[in-house]
Chains A and B, each alone.
Chain A
Amino acid sequence: MSSFRDSVKSGMSEYLGELKDKLEGLTDAELYWQASLETNTIVWLVWHMARVEDNWINGVIAGGDSVWDSGGWAAKTGITSEGNGYSNTMDEVRVLPEVAVSDLLDYYDDVRDAAFEVIDGMSEQDVSNEYSHRKGTITWGWILGHVIV
């Protein structure tokens, strides 16, 4: 029987599936194109999306290492930035190293597998668990909603 937990996972599956569709066939030039001097590139966005999900679910909720760290993805992709992209300057967006988007999607798939294990392991009660964040106290339930938004 379906549950509200399944709806959360279904929304996550849907956006990752759509993301992959949108990347289909793009050239490197297109992946690194900026709509204006102050807009993010597609490749930066893909990296950031995966890092965000990884940090929130595998890092904060599971309380473990991110897949980025445990899987050695910094070395595999050559991206040395330690953060997840949050508050990057435009210069940081522009200097993201040339990376194969297929590698980023491999990383994203690993993040997703781990994240679904974490979500499957949560009890309904865990949804109200609190985490102290720079913006204030948030709940694990908020984190799951936030990752989709």
Chain B
Amino acid sequence: MPSFRDPIKSGLNEYYGKLKESVEGLTAEELLWQPSPDSNHILWTVWHMARVADRWANSTVLGNGELWTRNGWAAKLGMPEDRYGRGETPAQVRDFPSVDIELVLEYYDEAHASVLAMIDALEQSDLDRDVYAEYRDESLNIGWILGHILSEESQHLGQVAYIRGIQRGFNG
């Protein structure tokens, strides 16, 4: 049965597919390149996007704990369990470890799948429910969160594609 769940899931799959195209073939140097000292680099942005998907779905909405810790991704990447990206300083972005993008994308595959599964499991009556996002210290409505994930991830995708474009040029 078609429903307005479909455009949300379709948008999520579209941004994620485009993200993979946008990082295809980039060297470690290109992944860590910053257009200005205060800009994020692609590797940091992709990692943060995965963390965003994971945290919203598995921690904030479902309350099951993040895949980042539950499935050992923090340890595999050699990063702190509480590192998320929000509010980080330019120095933290610059000092980001040169982790393997393939490993980050494996984590992201799991996080992305969990967002889609969450949407399938949600009933319309869940959308009005408020959940507490501890790291933001605010309660948010699940219906709002669904639109927010799409909007936030799309904005970050645009940043990744733009930073690639500055380095690689038109169609590069």
Number of chain B residues close to chain A: CB under 8 A: 37
Q: Point out the residues of chain B lying under 8 angstroms from A7, CB to CB.
A: 4, 8, 127, 143-144, 146-147
CB pair B127–A145 under 8 Å, yes or no, is no
Binds A, one of B45-53, B90-98, B108-116, B151-159: B151-159
Report whether over half of chain B's contact residues are helix, strand or loop; otherwise say mixed.
Answer: helix
List the B residue with the shortest CB-CB distance to A9.
Answer: B147
CB pair A4–B5 under 8 Å, yes or no, is yes
List the B residue with the shortest CB-CB distance to A10.
Answer: B147
CB pair B8–A142 under 8 Å, yes or no, is no
A148 and B127 in contact, given A8-B7, A35-B166 (Cβ under 8 angstroms): no
CB pair A11–B147 under 8 Å, yes or no, is yes
Interfacial residues of chain B within 1-48, with CB under 8 A of chain A in the complex: 1-15, 18, 35
Report whether over half of chain A's contact residues are helix, strand or loop; otherwise say mixed.
Answer: helix
CB pair A145–B7 under 8 Å, yes or no, is yes
CB pair B125–A149 under 8 Å, yes or no, is no
A15-B154, A141-B6 given; 14 more Cβ-contact pairs under 8 Å:
A4-B3, A4-B4, A4-B5, A11-B148, A14-B151, A124-B3, A124-B4, A125-B2, A127-B4, A139-B6, A141-B4, A142-B7, A149-B18, A149-B157
Can you identify 24 A-B contacts, CB atoms within 8 angstroms? A1-B125, A4-B5, A6-B127, A6-B147, A8-B147, A10-B148, A11-B11, A11-B150, A12-B147, A12-B151, A14-B147, A15-B154, A36-B165, A38-B169, A38-B170, A39-B162, A39-B166, A124-B4, A141-B2, A145-B8, A145-B14, A148-B150, A148-B154, A149-B15
Q: Which residues of B contact A (CB under 8 A)?
A: 1-15, 18, 35, 124-125, 127-128, 141, 143-144, 146-148, 150-151, 154-155, 157, 162, 165-166, 169-170
